[in-house]
Structure 1
Amino acid sequence: MAGYDAEVPAVQTAPAGAPVPVHDGVLARVRTQLPEFTGALQRVAELVLTDPASAARSTIVELAERSGTSPATVTRFCRALGFEGYSDLRIGIAGETGRAARTGGWSVDIGREIQPTDPLDRVLGQIMATDTRAMHDTAALLDLREVERAADAVAAASRVDIYGASGSALVGGELQLCLHRIGIAAWVWNDVHNGLASGALLGPGDVALGVSHSGQTREVIEVLAEASSKGATTIALTSFPRSPLADVADIVLLTATQATTFRPDALSARHPQLVVLDLLYIAVAQRTHERAHASFQVTARAVAGHRASREVE
């Protein structure tokens, strides 16, 4: 499937008074919604991400002045994230930056770009730091109740069809291999024609899972919508909860990313995607323990003869 860049949906404000979970990563939510912000809201978001500790210490007037906006804009920014006001945002950022400080923080500046002349040890440190941060942000964003719903659906499914394009197809292929190993009938499709045909053959009791970092890949949206129209349970794995892909899914699993030079968002999303799908796979294996255990034994015996023998001197 070819990638598709659609217009980013407009910012949607969370309902007034909606509770914001303490464990929910504030900065992760800002990064997730950053592409949806425009103009003044985007300037506030970028300032918060550039120096969160300073943002947590600033008054609403100070943050507005530093971002070249107004206190009213900062208030709109807070409400777009689900906070009632600026004080709640400050508390959330302060708590998050405080936890990072207590655990030693990140060994490498997350915001620093990798330079062409950087030595490999510096590049390795940057990759480790950004991936680690992306994992923590994903854990903060992920709704485990949605993972449980997805695991229940997959464990009970007659078949599971997985759709993705480019790197997302590779991620989907990893899940297909894992599910197949524990006796779950699963297929992965990366061609829109074959994907639409497979989606058309699904029905109630089946599961269709679409993988797209942006949630805007037209082909993945189309095949998930086709599967949904036939009554299949649909799952979206994306970094954008208000994306077109999320809109056509019954269950949405969220990931966070940390882009660096030479690793744009779509590539840096791969490890968080794999972590979420690994969690889903483990949850399915727990729910089908006896079948999963028996399948592991059968498949292990089947491939045992192709392992090189090791002679001990």
Structure 2
Amino acid sequence: MVKGMLMEESGLLGRLRTELATMPVALQRVAEQILIAPEETARATIIDLAERAGTSTATVTRLCRVLGYRGYAQLRVAVATEIGRAAQARWDTDIDREIGPDDPLDHLLAVVASADARAIQDTAGQVDLGAVDRVAGAVARADRVDLFGLGSSGNAAREMAFRLERIRIPVWHRADPHTALTNAALLGPGDVAIGLSHSGRTREVIEVLAEAADHGALTVAVTSFRRSPLAEVADVVLTTAVQETTFRLAALSALHSQLLVLDLIYVAVAQRTYQRTTEAFEVTARAVDAHRLPDESARPARRPIKTTEGP
């Protein structure tokens, strides 16, 4: 599978929003016009879009190629597909994502819920299912799986490690960069290293993945930027989408999207190890059963005490 190629004809708008600031100026102008008026883009010719952006048709074609599309026609289909999916999901695309100091809680709830739902939907739209299938198969067969991320990405890595441990996958998660590097040096062919970084520019995560790659492990990058240093050192790239709001910048908003991608891998691994996973769940459930409080609702109702009235 070619790294850097967009495999799905969906999730385009989310990807443009995420990567806009990293694009060359000429490509930014085209991307901005697509984001400002996606419905019009779905109907416009390549000449129309170039004129709206104040650039040339060659620049529009260049943006299509950068995004992994063969040409403008394929990009238009992707835009139309995403518009239709957004309408079906009834996204609240017009909600103000700015939060003021005096805004009521119901507004905060609407903003946060809308942003998270949109980020998850954008991530689902752009996920490369072929890449997920490859990673899940490798994890299910691996002698060892290493996960590494820092900050919010570290929380996602820790959660994934817990889930894989629960189904008897030999997995390591180290929050310390030096320990993570020494772990990566012990990997080899047949092992898997997964590095998480929203920006794809976290030096420690890049170093860990590069070290694992040097020893022959399959390397997987989970990042919002397909053209990033982390993506360049990875065999497989899985992208996430984010929706910023006031007080929740991109790196803080990426957690839900990262968990979606990792959870998809986890469930696909559990499918491939169905018998072992089922047995592991039964064993672990019995181990902690004595520590659960009894379910009061499951108890039989007490019978009323009968009393005998005197004459």
TM-score range, shorter chain: 0.7 to 0.9
Is the partner of 1:292 in helix, strand or coil?
helix
Return the alpha-carbon distance in structure 2 between the equivalents of residues 22 and 195 of structure 1.
33
Q: 1:58 to 1:112 in 2, by over 3 A?
A: farther
Equivalenced residue count is: 296
* Cα shift at 1:73: 3.2
Q: 3-state SS of the aligned residue for 1:221?
A: helix
SS of structure 2 residue aligned to 1:176:
helix
In structure 2, the CA distance between the partners of 1:78 and 1:213, relative to structure 1 (3 Å rule), is same
The residue that corresponds to 1:4 in the other structure is none
What RMSD, in angstroms, separates the aligned Cα atoms of the two structures? 2.5
1:70 Cα shift? 4.2
Equivalent residue for 1:135?
120
Q: CA deviation at 1:269?
A: 1.1
Aligned partners of 1:58, 1:147: CA distance in 2, in Å?
A: 34
**% identical aligned pairs:** 55
Alignment correspondent of 2:34: 48
Q: Which amino acid aligns with 1:287?
A: R
Query: 1:208 aligns to what SS in structure 2?
Result: strand
Alignment partner for residue 231 of structure 1, among 204, 210, 216? 216
> What secondary structure sits across from 2:219 in the alignment?
strand
Q: Is the 8 A contact 1:110 1:130 kept in 2?
A: no
Structure 2 counterpart of 1:260: 245
2:12 to 26, 50, 58: 26
Q: Distance in 1 between matches of 2:258 and 2:21?
A: 19
* 1:109 counterpart residue number: 94
Contact 1:255 1:272 in 2 (8 A): yes
Q: Which amino acid aligns with 1:96?
A: E
Residue-by-residue CA offset, 1:75-126 (whole Å, 9 max, x unaligned): 433333334544443343233223433x263235257433333322122222
**Which protein shows a greater Rg?**
2
Matches within 5 A, 1:51-70: 51-70=37-56
Change (3 A) 1:122 1:280: same
In structure 2, C-alpha distance between the alignment counterparts of 1:295 and 1:171, rounded to whole Å: 22
Match of 2:24 in 1: 38
Residue 178 of structure 1 and its aligned partner are, at CA, apart by: 0.4
Gaps of 5+ in 2: 303-311
Looking at structure 2, the residues matched to 32 and 232 of structure 1 have their Cα atoms a distance apart, in angstroms, of 29
Q: CA separation in 2, counterparts of 1:68 and 1:306?
A: 66
Show CA shifts across 1:248-292 (max 9, x none): 222222212222222111111111110111111111111111111
Question: Which blocks of at least 5 consecutive residues in structure 1 are unaligned?
Answer: 1-11, 15-19
Going from structure 1 to structure 2, the CA distance change for 1:75 and 1:228 (only over 3 Å counts) comes to closer
For normalisation by structure 2, the TM-score amounts to 0.85
**1:22 CA displacement:** 6.7
Q: Following TM superposition, by how much is the alpha carbon of 1:24 offset from its aligned partner in structure 2, in angstroms?
A: 2.5
Match of 2:307 in 1: none
Give yes or no for the alignment of 1:170 onto 2:155.
Answer: yes
